[in-house]
Amino acid sequence: MLPVFPWDRLEPFGARARAHPGGVVDLSVGTPVDPTPELIRDALSAAADSPGYPTVYGRPELRESIAAWLVRRLGISGANPDAVLPVIGTKELVAALPHQLGLGPGDTVAHPALAYPTYDVGARLAGATPLAVVDGTLPDPAGVRMIWLNSPGNPHGAVRSVEELRAVVEWARAHDILVVSDECYIELCWDARAVSVLHPDVCGGSHEGLLALHSLSKRSNLAGYRAGFVTGDLAVIRELLAVRKHAGHIVPGPVQAAMTVAFADDEHVAVQKARYAARRAALRGALESAGFRIEHSQASLYLWTTRDEDCWDTVAWFAERGILVAPGDFYGPLGNRHVRIAFTATDERVAAGVERLKNG
């Protein structure tokens, strides 16, 4: 049985925030609001005459562009274009992966205890058992077939060290457990450096038993394009490819063309990151002045904050000021005294939120 879709519970607070005379400052969802870079839109437009079926595997030039990005930006030695599989946004893959790899009743999927809820949902959709694991601990391996990592993490923006990641990889390999690392915020680090699970310092140069997921939604403002990929263990990628061919899970041809350009260009990422850095600094200062404490938040697009009260009381406090934030318990019971604040709103809306926080 699936849990209630969490965002439905936030609607009454959204209505209260929208009633503010100055309009709502929506910091609840990390959706991009800045323009999609022109070079990416041009690539999409140029490929718009696309009458034939694209391939599930993706264009060779797309997979080569991604492999080059993995080497250039993440230091992943031996990145193989053959082991790259485009996906229709990574949320789709997170939800479908346990089922597509044949997991089901009797299998356990471990995931961070404080996490994006789709890891839990994906296990349930497959009929497997989700298991929440507190960061820094490892579960009893009995029955565990897959373990999710998320660094930089959502909702809290925490970054796992090379040593922590390596310990999980070594444990998983000892017990024949697949490690799947969701790394969609890896280029959006502020106070720490995030490392891919496929980096040689973590995996010893072998991608056996490892997958990594990456998305263009955050780093390139492409959430509306539904553009991401999975890479790692070639044997597992081939297994996924076979299943996804039958299911018709195909990234549209024009989107593949846009992805090729996006992964080849680093300048637009730096421009967008500078925008986020300014918004983050403004909100952080205003929150701390208003008596909130920021925890973790070394990376990603969120500030994980608390004033040591029930998260829904904090949500209500913000809503009275026309600001909508996400309650921490959306991401598991461990978040029940925090809220997640996205800094993906426009400069104007962030400035309005800062002013309201300053005025109490």
Per-residue pLDDT of 268-297, as tens digits, reads 999 999 999 999 999 999 999 999 999 999
Question: Of 249, 264, 279, which closes a domain?
Answer: 264
Average pLDDT over residues 71-85: 95
Same domain (yes/no): 346, 253: no
Higher pLDDT, 8 or 91: 91
From 322, 325, 295, select the one nearest 308 (Cα to Cα): 295
Same domain (yes/no): 317, 170: no
Q: pLDDT tens-digit profile of 35-48?
A: 999 999 999 999 99
Same domain (yes/no): 21, 56: no
Same domain (yes/no): 236, 274: no
Report residue 211: phi and psi, to 5°.
-130, 150
Model confidence at 192: pLDDT above 70: yes
Residue 15: its pLDDT value, please?
A: 95
CATH of the domain at 22: 3.90.1150.10
- Overall number of domains in the chain: 2
3-class secondary-structure state, position 293: strand
Does a structural domain hold residue 1?
A: no
Residue 135: its pLDDT value, please?
A: 85
> What is the band of 4 on the pLDDT scale with cuts at 50, 70, 90?
low
Same domain (yes/no): 291, 276: yes
Question: Of 264, 284, 307, which closes a domain?
Answer: 264
Q: Give the global pTM.
A: 0.94
Q: How many CB atoms are located within 10 Å of the residue 57 CB?
A: 19
Higher pLDDT, 34 or 360: 34
Q: pLDDT tens-digit profile of 305-345?
A: 999 999 999 999 999 999 999 999 999 999 999 999 999 99
Model confidence at 76: pLDDT above 80: yes
Residue 7: its pLDDT value, please?
A: 72
Residue 78: its pLDDT value, please?
A: 83
- Residue 64 CA to residue 127 CA, distance in Å, equals 35
CATH of the domain at 246: 3.40.640.10
Model confidence at 5: pLDDT above 80: no
Q: pLDDT tens-digit profile of 209-248?
A: 999 999 999 999 999 999 999 999 999 999 999 999 999 9
Model confidence at 3: pLDDT above 70: no
The chain-wide mean pLDDT, for the chain, equals: 96
- In percent, the amount of the chain with pLDDT more than 90 equals 95
Give how far Cα 274 sits from Cα of 135, 266, 267, 330, 354, Å: 30, 13, 11, 29, 18
Q: Could you say which DSSP state residue 299 is in?
A: B
Model confidence at 115: pLDDT above 80: yes
Question: Of 264, 299, 318, which closes a domain?
Answer: 264
Residue 354: its pLDDT value, please?
A: 97
Same domain (yes/no): 277, 251: no
Range of the domain at 175: 40-264
Return the residue matching tokens 């994006």.
Answer: 116
Same domain (yes/no): 246, 284: no
Higher pLDDT, 266 or 1: 266
